[in-house]
A and B are shown apart, each in its own frame.
Chain A
């Protein structure tokens, strides 16, 4: 039975909800798990994850870890992993994907990235992961005694608390990497938004290039009504109609909300790779042959500039 170390990701002094996917991974893999919360303010944030059934919540609270710089985090993660863990698990967020290979390198461990499933087969963990932009799934195993994995947020739904109170223990900051001296963190620029994060939203309203300069004016009323996150196709981002961080696809975010609206999106492979896992997909496009209709549960061939405002009106009626 594996003993798993789940790495919690922090933002603004809180544990990011993306961490809950790595906890689900640990539960699915069987065995036991502990959660390592590291960052500035980790001590206060640790309480957020003591109710998930972890054996321990380990805390490394240090200003050295104030910003997400892989070279600063990897030494401590690797040092804690060496204290009796078989698997190190992160969520495959941009933070997880940045730091996990460095941890694997330090541990001499094999790394299975962006996995979508895990099974214990006779004491050996067998992983499933999407390849070729999700057009095939590979089965793989890791050949080293310690293993590192990143779990795809869209495939491991966020864990719910299971009660109890895991004991909290402090761990020391490991010796610093020389490489970290050569990185200066200048800052994060992020558009402030009241909307849910794309990775966590239950509903996503995504738009394509067809929306042109009216991207926000057309989509915002629908997104506001549904409490949805707004996404975009690569074409819409490239054309400057939507900011890059809204991009859904092989580049950009991989999402799996309960309801996904693809509006004026033709459905290029790169885009489908990022949203095919959504539970219900609605496509609105005036081209009846657009590939998006092949994955849509409900397709509407229509001019989006008429259909979307009408949709807002009808939804208001239907949901009262």
Chain B
């Protein structure tokens, strides 16, 4: 199976409480860049789906990782290559040239050349929290989609059974490839992804780490650059961000010393009962 995974770098989500706004813009200096966690889960999912249990060194298929950004975003791609992806593509662009729609249109053009069987994407990037590129891309390609995947089972490489995590439960879909699947966090639980080629062992929780040897080897894996303008002729953005602000701070709370005091406060002060 040939799988394409779009990958975005984001300001370290674990430091999101340090987000600063300066003159209506997000201040990015001093923030550490990391791959979007949901995209890392998508890479891990792609690696599991192409795993060859009988011969772990020979992947069954190909995993292509793609990012949009300036030269320094290649660090993110090299990271994915080190964990096992086969090749990488950087679409040269600045943040100001991009919105979810441009990204989806550019990916569509790229996919028509690369012809993957499956696009695996994170359900959302944890900076913009937009949750739209996978669905838009599927629409533009005329492909089916399965969003918020918590489980994926591949039986014959032609179709996937996907468990989608939705409000109040799980929806199971069978989707015929080619298709777009966006992944949620439980996709990296030990038994969430399986195919008939899966290894006998269970996976550890979470995404795999790159070994030092693999990091060295990743430097030799193919990484190509494509100009954004070579993929999209219409550069118009559909959404314009005009400003950012911090949320209003919550009024400082108090500590109560006993359960009766808590109940009294809830009743007479907060009037929440």
Q: Say yes or no: A269 contacts B262, CB within 8 Å.
A: no
Against A, the Cβ 8 Å flags (1 = close, 0 = not) of B226-248 are 00000000001111111111110
Closest Cβ neighbor of A191 among chain B residues: B169
Q: Say yes or no: A244 contacts B150, CB within 8 Å.
A: yes
A93-B167 contact, Cβ under 8 Å, with A184-B174, A280-B270, A297-B253: yes
Size class of the B contact interface (CB-based, 8 Å): 35 or more
In the complex, which residues of chain B have a beta carbon less than 8 angstroms from the beta carbon of A177? 142
A136-B19 contact, Cβ under 8 Å, with A114-B131, A269-B14, A298-B254: yes
- Stretch of A21-29, A31-39, A58-66, A141-149 on the interface side: A141-149
Query: How many A-B contacts if CB must be within 8 Å?
Result: 261
- B53 lies within 8 A of chain A by Cβ: no
Residue total for A at the interface (Cβ-Cβ under 8 A): 90
Residue from the list A71, A142, A293 in contact with B144, Cβ < 8 A: A71
Q: Say yes or no: A111 contacts B100, CB within 8 Å.
A: yes
In the complex, which residues of chain B have a beta carbon less than 8 angstroms from the beta carbon of A178? 142
Least distance between A155 CB and chain B CB atoms (Å):
11
- A122 lies within 8 A of chain B by Cβ: no
- How far is it, in angstroms, between the C-alpha of A175 and the C-alpha of B248 when the chains are bound? 46
In the complex, which residues of chain B have a beta carbon less than 8 angstroms from the beta carbon of A199? 167
Q: Say yes or no: B246 contacts A98, CB within 8 Å.
A: no
A279-B244 contact, Cβ under 8 Å, with A110-B101, A131-B127, A135-B16: no
In the complex, which residues of chain B have a beta carbon less than 8 angstroms from the beta carbon of A315? 263, 273
- How far is it, in angstroms, between the C-alpha of A68 and the C-alpha of B148 when the chains are bound? 14
Q: Say yes or no: B101 contacts A139, CB within 8 Å.
A: no
Closest Cβ neighbor of A272 among chain B residues: B17
Residue from the list B150, B173, B260, B264 in contact with A183, Cβ < 8 A: B173
Measuring CB to CB, which residues of chain A are less than 8 angstroms from any residue of chain B?
18, 68-71, 74, 93-95, 97-102, 104-106, 109-114, 126, 129-144, 177-180, 182-191, 197-199, 234, 238, 244-245, 250-251, 253, 258-259, 269, 276, 279-282, 293, 295-302, 307, 310-311, 314-315, 317-319
List the 6 closest A-B pairs by CB distance, nearest first.
A190-B169, A110-B238, A105-B139, A101-B135, A94-B166, A186-B172
Q: 15 A-B pairs, CB-CB below 8 angstroms?
A: A93-B167, A94-B147, A104-B101, A111-B136, A179-B142, A189-B172, A244-B170, A244-B186, A245-B165, A245-B169, A298-B256, A299-B254, A301-B255, A314-B262, A318-B264
